[in-house]
Amino acid sequence: MAEVLYDDPLLQGLYIPPKLKPGKPKPEEVEQWIELTSQLMSRGVDTPSKIRRLLGVHFRTARNWLTEVRTRWARGLSDELLNVRREALYHEADEVARAAWRTAMTAETASEKASLYKVLLMANQRKASLTGLDDITVRVHKQVEQHTTVQLVARVEADHGLAPGALEALGRSAARLLSLPAEDPEMLVLDGD
């Protein structure tokens, strides 16, 4: 066995079993490593090469441990146990998202903030996946109507009880007032006055 990457963030908070001795290990010793592999898989480490890199084991050993964990999960997961694990993963992803947000608020550089926002988005995607939100199809039925400006103005005039052409006259008067010099108050007479 090579060295375990103890400082890797994926291993934080996990129990690292004692190194396996050369020769055929005892089943209880291997069981601890399989449990660690299971925890790493729940954190998204799902390839033999990643397990090999993190735990310092041979590629075949990592592949065997991953296969064993998948087999156990397939035959031993009741709906209740599955939901318990899903909830634990959700809370872990939620904590990652919160930590990334807090850190992003005090980040000094734009690239650091961007990286933390990416972590936040990935954690939220994971939460959506765990709760099934990414499988929901939202169907939006929206009726779009197109109206000409003349139709729209006529409808607004009718809705507000205005005479036809009243908004047009108001617009012309406002344009004339806005285009007059400020010194000529006698010209401030509206149409119809």
Segments making up each domain of the chain, as ranges? 9-76, 79-135, 149-187
**pTM for this model (two decimals):** 0.45
Question: Residue 67: its pLDDT value, please?
Answer: 93
pLDDT at 63: 94
HEC readout, 20-81: CCCCCCCHHHHHHHHHHHHHHHHCCCCCHHHHHHHHCCCHHHHHHHHHHHHHHHHHHCCHHH
Rounded Cα–Cα distance for residues 42 and 34 (Å) = 12
Backbone angles phi, psi at 31, to 5 degrees: -55, -40
Using CA atoms, how far apart are residues 57 and 179, in angstroms rounded to an integer?
82
**Element holding 98 (H helix, E strand):** helix 79-105
Q: What is the pLDDT of residue 182?
A: 62
**Residue 65: what pLDDT?**
92
Please, is 80 exposed, middle or buried when counting C-beta atoms within 10 Å of its C-beta (0-12, 13-18, 19+)? exposed
Q: How big is the chain by its Cα radius of gyration, in Å?
A: 33
| Terminal alpha carbon distance of the chain | 98
Tens of each residue's pLDDT in the chain, 193 residues = 556 767 788 888 888 888 888 888 888 889 999 999 988 888 888 899 999 988 888 899 999 999 999 888 778 767 777 788 788 888 888 998 999 999 999 999 989 989 989 989 988 888 888 888 877 777 777 777 787 888 888 888 888 888 888 888 888 888 887 777 766 556 555 555 4
